[in-house]
Chains A and B, each alone.
Chain A
Amino acid sequence: MIADSVIRDLRALLPSAAVLTADEDTAVYESDGLSAYRCRPGAVVLPETETQVIAILRLCHAAGVPVIARGSGTGLSGGALPREDSVLLGLAKLNKILHLDPLARSARVQPGVRNLAISGEAAAYGLYYAPDPSSQIACSIGGNVAENSGGVHCLKYGLTVHNVLGVRAVTIDGEILQLGGDCLDSPGYDLLALLHGSEGMLAVITEITVKLLPKPEHAQVILAAFDSVETAGAAVGAIIAGGILPAGLEMMDRPAIHAAEAFIHANYPLDAAAILLVEVDGTTEEMAEDLRCVHDILAANGATSARTAVDDTERLRFWAGRKNAFPAVGRLSPDYYCMDGTIPRRALPAVLYGIEVLSEEYGLRVANVFHAGDGNLHPLILYDANIPGELHKTEQLGARILELCVQYGGTITGEHGVGMEKIDQMCVQFRALELAAFHGIKAAFDPAGLLNPGKAVPTLQRCAELGAMHVHAGQLSHPHLPRF
């Protein structure tokens, strides 16, 4: 689907092994972590330098060929889903840690570096890179910036956007943008923040300067059980209102507990309706005091049991249950689908109840894991793709769950991004005016719309056809102005 002349020009730019067009070679790239969506790209290019990235972008720009950036392909919203008429730009070979400055506590790295590799390199200096998506052994730092990824420690340590000092990015016409760098801010608009979560639609990130933090001396985790999700939710609120900002604060409901226990044998209480994992960290003294406070609050807020892991082995086992919740649930059913909404925490009981009702309505089981500290809910829908129509039903149920999150004042995606998956729910969350502003941002960076086209922001026409647009077309002010 890409003109032969373009492929020929790409081959002239890159070593032959770096341009893939044969079906068996491009098949590896046909989906990201959301494998229900697949498409073979017209070509895959695997540059090793920024100079090559620039040349590829210039060429595609001149030829009018769409370009889709890809890091490690662990994205869960179809952000790196190819198109037949597109070049898939794989950045995994740009995988060098260019510079690490222990005194300034920063590292300059290429986009294909794996998240965990940065902490690995920084460990020698007692430092680490804080955001820790569960996919951190595989996902790339470039992908993390493009999705503004979170992790189980982001309530205390922030998301990717809070832990990046600068990026170098290349626009579709081959222009280099240096946004931020080694300082804590930069003059003009905060384009560094804007690139976070931009899902490869604005520019291709070729270098990232991340902030490194001192590794906490110690970390300890409490496992608390509750006989209802309401009580567990209220206890989370009480811990936070009590002035403690735990390093991690995770909740799992009964189906998720059972799945994790069967898989990992983490010693989770099987009779509980919900469990909380509360991690506190810091110096020995700091941690001891916080642990005491958390135990007091849990006891006063209806925990049926609460115990601190006896040693590091048990602490890691408690976490292993949570961190493997997705694959654990995956064992219960041929397929599962992971949703990613955020809600104000106080709405948790109502939303979980709503999910239960929907789960019955659709006849599909749902297990819930929850970054409880920051309100980010991951309902996992269990289904069987081999049953005709079941994937479609699953997607419908997922969409209803996200709409529920919006209805309770939340959002359709906390950390996985919109990608291809949630494009229709964007019409529910935003009005035409905001969507038009998003298209305006896109046009300012990429007027021809060649970078990752069709993702993240729906066209107004798409929303209108869905009938989901909150504002009728007639209410758009200044209809004579171009809206994209």
Chain B
Amino acid sequence: MQTLVDQVKDAYLARRMLQIRGGGSKDWYGNAAQGSVIDVSGHSGIVEYAPAELVLTAKAGTRLAEIETVLAANNQMLSFEPPHYGDSATLGGTLACGFSGARRPYSGSARDAVLGVQILDGRGDLLNFGGKVIKNVAGYDISRLTVGALGTLGIILQASVKVVPRPAATVTLQYELDQAASIVRMNELAGQPLPLTAAAWINGVLSLRLEGNAAAVLAAQAKLGGDILDHAADFWLAAREHTAPFFAGETPLWRLSVPPTVPPLDLPGKQAVTWGGAQRWLKSATPAASIYAAAARIGGHAALYRGARPQTGVFHALPAAVMALHRRLKTQFDPHGILNRGRLYSDF
């Protein structure tokens, strides 16, 4: 850790820019950052994990796979089911990107799970926010602010996350149904007391995952009917990791975060729906500007996932007042603008 601290302190004094890298599995995500690489992957290991506390603390370079294995051995899991996008995925990188998987609408996002972080700010100062307890309102919630900030407010060195029990039973039910009807159905079901933990529409098929204790899952299954999917875990894994056929090919892949009930997007290209309607995947060669405009019209926002980065950057532009606030916050944490410069927005 001391070497990381020294590297940032030196860079701060020299005003030299640093690109933060964990496992490198998400190098493709976001805009290109400037500067030389600072490698966090060596800063790894689970620091503390007491299953009865429902809290796990690990250094940022710890592989997600390792964390998930340890949790599974204790019948627990991460509540936000993060995509890995590669074997080398680390906890720090996942939190910096703020990635959450299929369970997100039902049991929360990566930021929801974060209880505390240790960061190295742009001056090379080590800061600790939040803690290892589930309820904590002392001081502003800077822990959650670092989630999804793509390292621009500080290098995440360690994080404590809330973990949850692994459900005893799971079943996935499928239905051939068009996109519009599937979106309505996902939302209707989410308003009923059912143990729903995932709802997706991919390639003309609506998939619903039910999880909980065995009695609950059986009862819900009887109520909903549909075809039981064998090897459901593989299906959800492929959807999460973008290895399902829908995601293949060179056409740019866009993610749109939208109000969950909006009808299918009025845009050329192929669509898939996850997060019970709240996340739409679009394979489309439509110009970036049209996609951003369409997302905004329906009260959502868009980001380019895979494909050549547009001039304007891959993330949705912010309203002026919010952008001004971003710049002021960035200056507070990283006065010389050396951390992951340009990765989130070109301004900083």
In the bound complex, residues from chain A placing their C-beta under 8 Å from that of B215 are 285-286, 288-289
What 0/1 pattern do residues 428 to 450 of A give for CB contact below 8 A with B? 01110110011011111100000
B123→A478 contact, CB < 8 A: yes
Check A162/B53 contact, CB under 8 A, given A181-B299, A193-B144, A374-B134.
Answer: no
Does any Cβ of B come within 8 Å of A126's Cβ?
yes
Flag the segment in B31-39, B64-72, B201-209, B314-322 that touches A: B314-322
Map CB proximity to A onto B311-348 as digits: 1 under 8 Å, 0 otherwise. 00001101101110110110111010000000011000
> In the complex, are the beta carbons of B138 and A418 less than 8 A apart?
yes
Rounded to whole Å, the gap between the CB of B246 and the closest CB of chain A is 20
Do the beta carbons of A289 and B139 come within 8 Å of each other? no
B159 to chain A: closest CB distance in Å? 14
CB–CB A426/B139 < 8 A: yes
CB contacts under 8 Å to B, within A363-418, are 371, 374-376, 409-418
Residues of chain A within 8 A of B164, CB atoms compared: 245
Contact: B139 with A457, CB < 8 Å? Answer: yes
From A184, A189, A198, A288, give the contact of B257 (CB < 8 A).
A184
A179-B333 in contact given A186-B301, A197-B141 (Cβ < 8 Å): no
For A415, what are the chain B residues with a Cβ–Cβ distance below 8 Å? 135, 137
Q: Which residues in B have their C-beta under 8 angstroms from that of A190?
A: 98, 111, 144-145, 147-149
User: How many whole Å from B45's CB to the nearest CB in chain A?
Assistant: 19
Which chain B positions have C-beta within 8 A of A3? none
Give Cα A382 to B139, complex, Å: 28
Task: Give the contacts of B116-144 with A (CB-CB under 8 A).
Answer: 121, 123-129, 131-142, 144
Is the C-beta of A103 less than 8 angstroms from some C-beta in chain B?
A: yes
| A462 lies within 8 A of chain B by Cβ | no
| CB neighbours of A179 from chain B (8 A) | 322
A205 at the interface (CB under 8 A from B): no
Which of B53, B140, B218 sits near A438, CB closer than 8 Å?
A: B140
The interface-forming segment of A61-69, A111-119, A210-218, A265-273 is: A210-218
B112 touches A243 (CB 8 A): no
Segment from A5-13, A150-158, A319-327 that makes contact with B? A150-158
Please report the total number of B residues contacting A with Cβ < 8 Å.
91
Given the known interface contacts A185-B109, A286-B219, the answer about A441 and B140 at a Cβ–Cβ threshold of 8 Å is yes
Q: Are B138 and A376 in contact (CB under 8 A)?
A: no
Q: Are A191 and B136 in contact (CB under 8 A)?
A: no
Q: Within 8 Å of chain A (Cβ to Cβ): is B281? A: no
Q: Does the CB pair B214–A289 fall under 8 Å?
A: yes
The answer to whether A182 and B137 touch across the interface, beta carbons within 8 angstroms, is no
Provide the residues of chain B in CB contact with A237, threshold 8 Å. 52-53
Chain A residues whose CB sits within 8 angstroms of the CB of B187 once the complex forms: 103-105
Q: Are B191 and A191 in contact (CB under 8 A)?
A: no
A55 in the interface (beta carbon within 8 A): no
What residues on B are CB-neighbors of A189 within 8 Å?
145, 148-149, 153, 326, 329
Q: Is the CB of A285 within 8 A of B148?
A: no
Query: What residues on B are CB-neighbors of A186 within 8 Å?
Result: 257, 301
Are the CB atoms of B144 and A194 closer together than 8 Å? yes
Decide if A2 is an interface residue (CB 8 Å cutoff).
no
The contact string, 1 if C-beta is below 8 Å from chain B, for chain A 209-246, is 00000111100000000000000000001101101110
- C-alpha spacing A258/B217, complex, angstroms: 41
Closest Cβ–Cβ distance, residue A208 to chain B (whole Å):
16
Shortest beta-carbon distance, B267 to chain A, in Å?
A: 17
Q: Give the CA-CA distance A330 to B40 in the complex, in Å.
A: 53
A263 contacts partner chain B, Cβ-Cβ < 8 Å? no
Interface residue B51 (Cβ < 8 Å from any Cβ of A): yes
Q: How many residues of A contact B (CB 8 A)?
A: 99
Do residues B138 and A411 form an inter-chain contact, with CB atoms below 8 A?
yes
CB within 8 A of A187: which of B54, B166, B192, B316?
B316
Known: A178-B319, A433-B125. Contact between A344 and B133, CB under 8 A?
yes
Chain A residues contacting B226 (CB-CB under 8 Å) are none
Residue A276 CB within 8 A of the other chain:
no
Residue of A nearest to B140 (CB): A441
Determine if A424 is an interface residue (Cβ-Cβ < 8 Å): no
**Whole-angstrom distance between the alpha carbons of A451 and B280 in the complex?**
39
Write the B265-296 contact mask toward A (1 if CB under 8 angstroms, else 0).
Answer: 00000000001001100000000000000000
Q: Which residues of B contact A414 (CB under 8 A)?
A: 133, 135-137
Cβ of B50 under 8 Å from chain A: yes
Q: Are A185 and B257 in contact (CB under 8 A)?
A: yes
Chain B residues whose CB sits within 8 angstroms of the CB of A418 once the complex forms: 137-139
A162 and B213 alpha carbons, distance in the complex (Å): 24
Measured in the bound complex, the distance between the Cα atoms of B187 and A444 in whole Å is 38
Q: Which residue of A lies closest to B328 (CB)?
A: A444
A411 touches B136 (CB 8 A): yes
Q: Are B322 and A481 in contact (CB under 8 A)?
A: no
Q: What residues of chain A lie closer than 8 Å to B145, measured between beta carbons?
A: 189-191, 193-194
CA distance A434 to B133 in the complex (A): 18
> Which residues of chain A have C-beta atoms less than 8 A from B128's C-beta?
430-431, 434
Asked if B333 and A437 make an inter-chain contact with CB atoms under 8 angstroms apart, the answer reads yes
Closest to B126 in A: A433
C-alpha spacing A376/B257, complex, angstroms: 34
Is the Cβ of B148 less than 8 Å from the Cβ of A430? no
Any chain A CB within 8 A of the CB of B261? Answer: yes
Task: Contact check, A238 vs B140: say whether CB atoms are below 8 A apart.
Answer: no
Nearest CB on B from A272, distance (A): 22
Q: How far is the CA of A345 from the CA of B300 in the complex (A)?
A: 40
A345, B144: Cβ atoms closer than 8 Å: no
Given A196-B141, A237-B52, A162 contacting B108 (CB threshold 8 A):
yes
B75 CB–A CB distance under 8 Å: yes
How far, in whole Å, are A155 and B165 apart by their CA atoms in the complex? Answer: 12
The answer to the question of A110 belonging to the interface, with a C-beta cut-off of 8 Å to chain B, is no
Q: Is the CB of B332 within 8 A of A437?
A: yes
Q: Does A474 contact B (CB under 8 A)?
A: no
A342 at the binding interface (Cβ < 8 Å):
yes
Say yes or no: A184 contacts B190, CB within 8 Å. Answer: no
CB distance from B260 to the nearest CB of A (A): 6
Q: Is B10's beta carbon under 8 Å from chain A?
A: no
Residue on B with the closest CB to A199? Answer: B137
A307 touches B (CB below 8 Å) = no
B168 within 8 A of A: yes
Name the distance in Å between A139's Cβ and chain B's nearest Cβ.
15
19 contacts between A and B (CB under 8 A): A147-B137, A159-B135, A176-B321, A189-B149, A191-B322, A215-B193, A241-B74, A243-B166, A283-B194, A283-B195, A289-B216, A342-B136, A411-B137, A412-B138, A413-B137, A418-B137, A418-B139, A438-B140, A456-B139
Identify 9 new A-B residue pairs, CB closer than 8 A, beyond the known A104-B260, A342-B133: A162-B112, A178-B319, A190-B111, A282-B195, A282-B216, A413-B136, A433-B125, A437-B332, A440-B333
